[in-house]
Structure 1
Amino acid sequence: MTQTAGRFDRRLVAPMVLGSVLNPVNSSMLAVALVPIGLALGAAPSETIWLVSALYLATAVGQPVVGRLVDLHGPRRLYLAGTALVGLAGIVGALAPSLGVLVLARVLLGIGTCAAYPASMVLIRSESVRTGTDSPAGVLAALSVSNQTVAVVGPTLGGLLIGLGGWRTIFTVNVPLAIACLVLGSLRLPRDEQLHRDADATRPHGLDVVGMALFAVTLTAVLLFIMEPAAAHWPLLLVVALAGAGLVARERSVDDPFIDVRVLAGNGPLLATYVRQLLAFTVSYAFLYGFTQWLEQARGLSASGAGLALLPMFVVAITVTTVFGRREQVRGKLLVGGALQVVACLGLLLLHDDSPLWLVVAVVVVVGVPQGLIGLANQNALYRQAEPDRLGSSAGLLRTFMYLGAMVASAANAAAFPQRADTTGLHDLAVGLTVAAVLLVALSALDRSLGRRRPTAAARTDTSPSAPTPTPTREATHP
């Protein structure tokens, strides 16, 4: 694989982008398929929501685990294995005879899509080390554009596919996508032993299987409780307490922990980024699934019509991300995006079964702006805040908190719409989402670290005498 010294190898962008969008496109296409699947299989919304929860449960647990494997063994082989599993999941879903098999297909999709994003972040860092480029903002923006906007265009794509061939097509489409990833990955991704990796990342590491298992048990119990919060499920909280305590004790006692809790506990800015990710995507996914179901069941739109109604959100999100993607400012993006999330949540309170279409579209347009800003800001923040030799697992944890937000959103949607997505439930949902959006704005406003620029992972690993020392600069507070 020929590389040009001093310049990012642009041939890496296509496989990175295509692989990283497999998860958001599968997440968002399902939004318009829940009602058709429920009708076809005789399942209520409280049952079909497991199709959402299964993917997020598998991905939330799997992302940091696979991200750590990427850190240890390199991105290429994990990328190829993961995308192959996506193709298999597409076949299982397309042939599924029951809701249970569909849930299994979604679990396989969740696991398979875990590799591409942390692999991409590690590849970006490797290229930064090779080229000596401190700020890969353009490449990070390309990832953000693809992920944020594909998550928005997914309902439109899903609606069109369902209109053409029924709900099974949203699973079938994964087969050609996986084949494309396998071809591009095989041809363009460098072999793992050829990567320009820092000395700490390439030294021998052990795999902390016990830590991974305790993490999986803890997070699974948390997510299961979030999905059905009830007093009868208190044993899950006991599992969380015991497994969580065991995880902390284990990770503090081993030389090479799966999650370095001591370093993580001392990295306040990174922890704040994870919390912001949780809040932002609780609002985003509750809107994506809850609002879409309301469009179909209360507003009376078809799956294709609901997808088209969400199209302006895609246009706004891709425009915003493209315009501001190369600017590294974080705080301004978060403040503007968070404020507009508050406006959008309040806008849901204005909607009724007979609301004019222009008002529905207006709310959709407002939501598009934070879709384009918040994910981009948190991604850029993480790239500078994470420790260099744990960038893959840190990126995986960022996705974990995103999917944790999605699980909270799924539970909120199930509580708001126990049998049918009606307007009363939409208004109840809007109140809770407004609280989450206000917390995001407050956390962004109070986090003073967002105004300081920290050297990137690549810059912090370059210890050669000729390496320039990045000069901290004060970041502007506009997006």
Structure 2
Amino acid sequence: MRAKGATAGGSAADAAPAETERGFGARLMTPLLLGSVLNPINSTMIATSLVAIARDFRVGAADTAWLISAMYLASAVAQPSMGRLADRLGPRRVFTAGLVTVLVAGLAGALAPTITLLILSRVVLGVGTSAAYPAAMAILRTEAERVGRGTPRTVLGRLSLAALGSAAVGPALGGLLAATAGWRAVFAVNVPLALIALACAVAWLPADGPRRAPGRGAEATAEAGAGAGTAARAGSLDPLGIALFAATLTVGMFFLLDLAHPRWLLLAPTAVLAAVLARWQLHHPAPFLDLRMLARNGALLRTYLRHGLAYLVIYCVLYGYSQWLEEAHGYSAFHAGLIMLPMSGAAAVCSLAGARTKGIRAPLTAAAVCLAAGAGVCLLLGGGTPLAVLLLTGVLFGVPQGLAATGNQAALYAQAPADGIGAAAGFQRTAQYLGAITSSSLIGLLYGQRATDAGLHEIAVVGLVLGVLLLVLTVADRTLRPRPAPPRTPSEPLEPVRPRTSHHH
């Protein structure tokens, strides 16, 4: 569950001097950071453009919610799938292919003549942007093996900060683009961003090594390099497992997408698909979703649960709060984005702080407390609320964005199997998107066609309950407690932290 020599409270590499980041320099990190911003910034940039899009296509809030849900649905399926491909085919190949897909999706969205085609472009955008994060985690793990030490916590923190910062700045950037160039610019901006990231990736990312067969470490890599059959390598991807996972998740999410008018008939096929998926994964020698490993690795399962719950509350506020500012409080899209800027700043500062913190339990506990406190403040908001209180509310939800992201990322890196880090990171994002999709459905249920004070207060009650539940889950998790390092003599050097190999994904 943990890399050798690592604890839940961090590793020796975390406290070492700057030379511990040898091998993780600017050329490696620049394309990884640029690619990693694309999914989160597209997830949130559209938040302050929804009203303009609805007005242009003459649809309501329940219809524009599909623009949010469609990308999250695609991302929830694509993130672990892309991670699996990165683990097996090579992270650089997957990383660059994703950027090309983003180019196509950005152009399609900017030119979309109907709301249906606009939603479709968001689906393609979700698939393309999903390649970067799991591929980046796999590249970092490979680089750690090359230099013979664990990836420094600060390096992981930069990856998390890039995602958090872009997600937090997204509403303000979306509002600015919508106010100056129109909402179509929110899609078109992906073209230059993806081109820059692609150029950096082609120039600086290390070439992929031989393709791996699953679960046998160096022996499998050597065999693949010596010319193992193409069919065997393709089989290691478990395409049927990926397809069953995608089908189960898609049907289940279609039920979640419209809680105002539940489609109860969808529960039966969801259950059947889940049963078939479980049976196939339990009998597959190299499953896409390793249920046996997850059953043994309770700490990793709890990390997924914490991450999903935290982002369920965060996204309820991110989308519900911005819509309420515009429709119930009368602010323009641009001014609503500016009011949410303190959320961005708090998220960035707390992400940096979380990256420099050795422990995991303390920042995750603080994140849960802030989520509950922020939800409590939302219960008091109304049409006459002073601007200072509106800004403070954003700060209360920005703090847990930074702390939960870096804390759960560090926990996952320590708990995930070394030869399946890409897929594991993808499943973490799936948990995040499940929370996001549920949040958009709750917003549609509680707001209806227009954001109101009463609807915001109902969202706040949900956030308060979930914040308290998250706090209990975090405090009660004993695996998050730091373990003391064994004593050493003054002349004994620190042992490099090496990733643990595993026969499971």
Which bracket does the TM-score occupy, shorter chain normalised? over 0.9
TM-score normalised over the length of structure 2: 0.88
Task: Sort the Cα spacing of 1:231 and 1:368 in 2 relative to 1 into closer, same or farther, 3 A.
Answer: closer
- Using the TM superposition, give the Cα deviation of residue 201 of structure 1 relative to its aligned residue in structure 2, in angstroms: 6.8
Q: Which runs of 5+ in 1 are unaligned?
A: 463-479
In the alignment, is residue 199 of structure 1 matched against residue 218 of structure 2?
yes
- Using the TM superposition, give the Cα deviation of residue 101 of structure 1 relative to its aligned residue in structure 2, in angstroms: 0.7
In the alignment, is residue 386 of structure 1 matched against residue 396 of structure 2?
no
| CA distance in 2 between partners of 1:33 and 1:9 (Å) | 36
Match of 1:335 among 360, 365, 383: 365
Report how many aligned residue pairs link the two structures: 459
In the alignment, is residue 111 of structure 1 matched against residue 141 of structure 2?
no
Aligned 8 A contact 2:359 2:482 in 1: no
Q: After the TM superposition, which segments of 4 or more aligned residues of structure 1 sit over 6 Å from their partners?
A: 194-197, 454-457
- Using the TM superposition, give the Cα deviation of residue 459 of structure 1 relative to its aligned residue in structure 2, in angstroms: 2.6
- Partner amino acid, structure 1, of 2:70: A
Secondary structure at the residue paired with 1:460?
Answer: coil
| CA distance in 2 between partners of 1:187 and 1:230 (Å) | 49
> Counterpart of 2:281?
251
Task: Sort the Cα spacing of 1:456 and 1:298 in 2 relative to 1 into closer, same or farther, 3 A.
Answer: farther
- Using the TM superposition, give the Cα deviation of residue 324 of structure 1 relative to its aligned residue in structure 2, in angstroms: 3.1
Secondary structure at the residue paired with 2:192?
Answer: helix
Task: Sort the Cα spacing of 1:92 and 1:11 in 2 relative to 1 into closer, same or farther, 3 A.
Answer: same
| CA distance in 1 between partners of 2:256 and 2:271 (Å) | 15
Secondary structure at the residue paired with 2:206?
Answer: coil
Aligned 8 A contact 2:54 2:60 in 1: yes
> Counterpart of 1:474?
none
- Using the TM superposition, give the Cα deviation of residue 164 of structure 1 relative to its aligned residue in structure 2, in angstroms: 1.3
Task: Sort the Cα spacing of 1:394 and 1:461 in 2 relative to 1 into closer, same or farther, 3 A.
Answer: same
Aligned 8 A contact 1:222 1:237 in 2: yes
Match of 1:187 among 195, 203, 206: 203
| CA distance in 1 between partners of 2:95 and 2:28 (Å) | 12
Aligned 8 A contact 1:125 1:458 in 2: no
| CA distance in 2 between partners of 1:382 and 1:416 (Å) | 33
- Using the TM superposition, give the Cα deviation of residue 148 of structure 1 relative to its aligned residue in structure 2, in angstroms: 1.2
Aligned 8 A contact 1:280 1:437 in 2: yes
Instruction: Choose between structure 1 and 2 for higher RCO, CA contacts under 8 A separated by at least 6 residues.
Output: 2
Structure 1 range deviating more: 31-40 or 203-212: 203-212
Aligned 8 A contact 2:71 2:122 in 1: yes
Q: Which runs of 5+ in 2 are unaligned?
A: 1-19, 225-232, 486-494
> Counterpart of 2:305?
275
CA offsets per residue over residues 30-67 of structure 1, 9 Å max, x none? Answer: 10011000001101001010000000000001111111
In the alignment, is residue 29 of structure 1 matched against residue 45 of structure 2?
yes
> Counterpart of 1:292?
322
| CA distance in 1 between partners of 2:354 and 2:262 (Å) | 47
Aligned 8 A contact 2:418 2:500 in 1: yes
| CA distance in 2 between partners of 1:107 and 1:5 (Å) | 36
> Counterpart of 1:162?
178
- Partner amino acid, structure 2, of 1:102: L
In the alignment, is residue 228 of structure 1 matched against residue 258 of structure 2?
yes
Aligned 8 A contact 1:71 1:201 in 2: no
CA offsets per residue over residues 77-129 of structure 1, 9 Å max, x none? Answer: 11111011111111001001110010011001000011100111011111111
| CA distance in 2 between partners of 1:457 and 1:174 (Å) | 38
- Partner amino acid, structure 1, of 2:469: L
| CA distance in 1 between partners of 2:411 and 2:366 (Å) | 16
CA offsets per residue over residues 253-283 of structure 1, 9 Å max, x none? Answer: 1111111111111100000000001100001
| CA distance in 2 between partners of 1:315 and 1:308 (Å) | 11
| CA distance in 1 between partners of 2:220 and 2:161 (Å) | 28
Aligned 8 A contact 2:347 2:400 in 1: yes
Task: Sort the Cα spacing of 1:356 and 1:232 in 2 relative to 1 into closer, same or farther, 3 A.
Answer: closer
